[in-house]
Amino acid sequence: MSRSIPAEQAPDKMRRLIREGKWSAPTAGVCNGYTQANLVILPKAYAYDFLLFSQRNPKPCPLLEVLGSGDPEVREVAAQADIRTDLPKYRIYRNGELAGEADDIREYWRDDLVSFLIGCSFSFEKALLENDIPVRQIEEGCNVPMYRTTIPCRPAGMFHGPLVVSMRPMSATQAIRAIQVTSRFPSVHGAPVYIGDPEKIGIHDLAHPDFGDRVTIHHGEIPVFWACGVTPQAAVMASKPELAITHAPGHMFVTDKKDMAYSVL
């Protein structure tokens, strides 16, 4: 990992750097040990359906906090944090189409916007590394490979779509340990959803992920698939709300919560 990544920074100081425009890069590796979160912001008119979609699909959509309608202040997972300024980069979608990026969304803010913070796999990847389980995309310095599956999410009102999974290759012995380790973190996607033959879940070529990058699969390794935080974003985009604001890929919200705070055992 590059020397320039502030791995030992405190979350509140990191958010201040971001707020002041002094950090606009991805957040992978920053504030080591602190949980990062995906962001989806929707008008209140869509919020019930999205909250229900998350309740019905807790593995891809583990909610860490839902802010009040029109309230930009994070209250549970961070102190003195403003959801409009404290992420390094945002994406603005109109009617399901990407309409632009921004490093501050105060000009887009409305009194009816509801912000959803969703758990992120960065938390369990740290636990995997501590258990000497390889995380290939970190070894290879790229993004995790992600795939659309033929497993449908449970729909909720206007929201529907396929389960998107991330894949990490490892030995069978490592996979068993990885299942144990990630089971302790249901708030950050939890245990894998599938292991082995990708064809069975509608993935025809592991070398061509739908999102992220291809990673090397060594001889004898098996692919292990986790529910992915791209799932709720994909469902939001498929259902074309008039406005949606999300984090830009990799540019997450850094919380004050330790990863271990989300371990159930």
For 172, the 3-state DSSP assignment is: helix
Question: Does 184 contact its own copies by CB under 8 A?
Answer: yes
Residues near 222 by beta carbon (within 8 Å), at least 6 away in sequence: 169, 170, 171, 172, 175, 195, 196
Binds its own copies (CB under 8 A): choice among 183, 221, 222, 249: 183
Stretch that binds its own copies, among 97-105, 132-140, 180-188, 243-251 (CB under 8 A): 180-188
Q: Smallest gap, in angstroms, from Cβ of residue 146 to its own copies?
A: 23
Please give the angle made by the CA atoms of 47, 51 and 54, to the nearest 5 degrees: 140
Binds its own copies (CB under 8 A): choice among 24, 32, 150, 180: 180
Site map for its own copies, 119-158, x if CB under 8 A?
-----------------------------------x----
Question: Does 88 contact its own copies by CB under 8 A?
Answer: no
- Distance between CA atoms of 34 and 262, rounded to whole angstroms? 10
CB count in 10 Å sphere of residue 220: 9
Binds its own copies (CB under 8 A): choice among 24, 55, 95, 150: 55
Residue among 121 and 137 whose Cβ is closer to its own copies: 121
Residue among 30 and 63 whose Cβ is closer to its own copies: 63
Asked if residues 231 and 238 have their Cβ atoms less than 8 Å apart, the reply is no
Q: Smallest gap, in angstroms, from Cβ of residue 69 to its own copies?
A: 9
Binds its own copies (CB under 8 A): choice among 186, 198, 249, 250: 186
Phi, psi for 102 (deg, rounded to 5) = -155, 155
Strand (E) or helix (H) holding 112: none
Site map for its own copies, 9-48, x if CB under 8 A?
--------------------------------------xx
Residue among 207 and 265 whose Cβ is closer to its own copies: 265
Q: Smallest gap, in angstroms, from Cβ of residue 173 to its own copies?
A: 18
Torsion region of 66: left, alpha or beta (phi above 0 gives left; psi -120 to 50 gives alpha): beta
Contact positions with its own copies (CB under 8 A) in 66-85: 66, 76
Q: Count the residues of the shown chain that bind its own copies, applying the rule CB under 8 A.
A: 20
- List the one residue out of 72, 93, 87, 118 whose CA is nearest residue 232: 118
Position of tokens 């839902």? 66
Residues near 3 by beta carbon (within 8 Å), at least 6 away in sequence: none
- First vs last Cα of the chain: how many Å apart? 29
Q: Which residues sit at the interface with its own copies, rule CB under 8 A? A: 47-48, 51-52, 54-56, 63, 65-66, 76, 154, 180, 183-184, 186, 190-191, 264-265
